[in-house]
Structure 1
Amino acid sequence: MKISEIKYDARQSLKGEWGKVVGLTFLYLVLSAGINLSIEIYASGGFINWLNQEYTPPLASILTAIISVILIPLSIAIVWFYLDLVREKNAEISQVFTIYTDVKVMLKVIGASIMVGIFTFLWSLLLIIPGIIKGLAYSQTFMLLKDHPEYSIFEAITESRRRMHGYKWKYFLLNLSFIGWGILCLISLGIGFLWLTPYVYASNATFYQNLIADTDEKEIL
């Protein structure tokens, strides 16, 4: 499947859903930025102190790191939202928050995110290129956890690496193809990212759905 076809299918999935996906992107940005800003103001001892501070208090850095971990399940649930959208299921914004009702799933995606980050970092210590290659290899971990909740963290990472064999370059080029749009979004003072982000997410979900999700079926045939 060509990159142009992946992006076309993604746009088809987004037809009639732009209001919803732009709203979800805006909600996530406001939520994450609002929480982090509130933490900095609190840790600084108030709004006035925050305005006048010359450096970020250690407490703010610690609390921000904790919140970043807590927000991991939400970011993964958004990835899953787009997979449902691509699969023409009833994807609603409210569903992304239900991940916090399942502690087991929540802890698994946090653990998977941390392990993927550690593995990628360790490979990057060798050279940047190996780190990028491994990051691409691990990229389907969370999609696989959605389709295969029975997988352990390491099983999902290993399976992602296996299924991405022969597809890493295509996945890299797919995401690289949005760089022009990214530049235009910067020119628009970042407003364009409200539309570009859903386009990228939907394209990555389409990539998984068409090239990765059915790998086992193709091998059986």
Structure 2
Amino acid sequence: MTVRISSIKKEARDALAGNWGIAVLLTLILVFFAGIVPIMFEIAASGGFENWVNQTEPSSSSSLFSLLISFAMIPFSVSVYWFFLHLVRGKRQSVGDVFSIYASIGTAFKMIGVSILIGIFVFLWFLLLIIPGIIKSFSYSQTFFILKDQPELSALEAISESKRRMKGYKWKYFVLYLSFIGWAFLSLFTLGIGYLWLMPYMQASLATFYNRHIATQGHEM
């Protein structure tokens, strides 16, 4: 059954109704730890705000700290994807549920490994040409959702499964992303504050896309 982009976005809005507070809070947590904390560390490492502004490149210690924070935040980011998948499936979660991914060290490290692997694959494709790199990033885009439904899959198996299921859906996925451009420009006029609502809207829409188009192929071989 063909599901229109407008229907996907409406279902996402319906899922977010009554859940905007926690969705925005999770976005704030991501922004704080992935963006603000590394900057605060760089300012402290450089000896103050003025020195930080005038420095030509960050110190090795602050670069290493930012890298470690990025790796540490990967499991949380994946768990946020899963939060929105639960949401569109009618299951409510708390912030504590999202952080619970760290309770399973194996799962947390697996998500880091999968993310690194996808990053390497996309980077290698981008070395060829930009367009193939973008297309391949769409092919791999469902990997983490698939791992939520099929955690027994290995990293390579989940990536391969994402590639298989995205055949014939990459253009629709691109159009879904494209449909948010207007909102992205409008958010700029709010000094970026609007992104705290735009990002949950996008994530819920992407989760709906998976739930409607990709998850249903789980038993097709």
Task: Determine the C-alpha separation between the residues in 2 that align with 1:162 and 1:68.
Answer: 29
Task: Determine the C-alpha separation between the residues in 2 that align with 1:139 and 1:14.
Answer: 22
- After superposition, the C-alpha distances for 1:145-174 in whole angstroms (9 at most, x for unaligned) are 111110000000000000001001000110
Q: Pick from 128, 147, 150 the counterpart of residue 149 of structure 2.
A: 147
Q: CA deviation at 1:43?
A: 2.8
Letter in 1 for 2:29: L
Q: TM-score, normalised by structure 1?
A: 0.93
**1:36 is the counterpart of 2:42:** no
Q: Pick from 209, 212, 218 the counterpart of residue 211 of structure 2.
A: 209
- Tell me the SS of whatever aligns to 2:207: helix
- After superposition, the C-alpha distances for 1:8-63 in whole angstroms (9 at most, x for unaligned) are 11111011111221122122212333321232134324566546544311221122
- Alignment match, 1:96: 98
Letter in 2 for 1:146: K
- Distance change (3 Å), C-alpha of 1:123 and 1:55: closer
Q: Pick from 161, 164, 174 the counterpart of residue 162 of structure 1.
A: 164
- Alignment match, 2:11: 9
How many corresponding residue pairs?
A: 219
Task: Determine the C-alpha separation between the residues in 1 that align with 2:63 and 2:138.
Answer: 29
- Alignment match, 1:172: 174
Identity of aligned residues (%): 53
Structure 2: runs of 5+ lacking an equivalent: none
- Distance change (3 Å), C-alpha of 1:52 and 1:126: closer
Say which is worse superposed, 33-42 or 18-27, in terms of deviation: 33-42
Q: Pick from 134, 137, 141 the counterpart of residue 136 of structure 2.
A: 134
Letter in 1 for 2:9: K
Letter in 2 for 1:190: G
Say which is worse superposed, 22-31 or 39-48, in terms of deviation: 39-48
Letter in 2 for 1:181: W
- Alignment match, 1:83: 85
- Alignment match, 1:115: 117
Task: Determine the C-alpha separation between the residues in 1 that align with 2:199 and 2:159.
Answer: 24
- Tell me the SS of whatever aligns to 1:71: helix
| Runs of 4+ with deviation above 4 angstroms | 45-49
Task: Determine the C-alpha separation between the residues in 2 that align with 1:12 and 1:28.
Answer: 23
Task: Determine the C-alpha separation between the residues in 2 that align with 1:173 and 1:148.
Answer: 27
- After superposition, the C-alpha distances for 1:96-152 in whole angstroms (9 at most, x for unaligned) are 111111111001110110010110111111111110110000000000111111000
- After superposition, the C-alpha distances for 1:55-89 in whole angstroms (9 at most, x for unaligned) are 31122112211211111111111111100111111
- Alignment match, 1:192: 194
- Tell me the SS of whatever aligns to 1:166: coil
Say which is worse superposed, 23-32 or 161-170, in terms of deviation: 23-32
Contact 2:24-2:197 at 8 Å conserved across structures:
yes
Structure 1: runs of 5+ lacking an equivalent: none
Contact 2:33-2:73 at 8 Å conserved across structures:
no
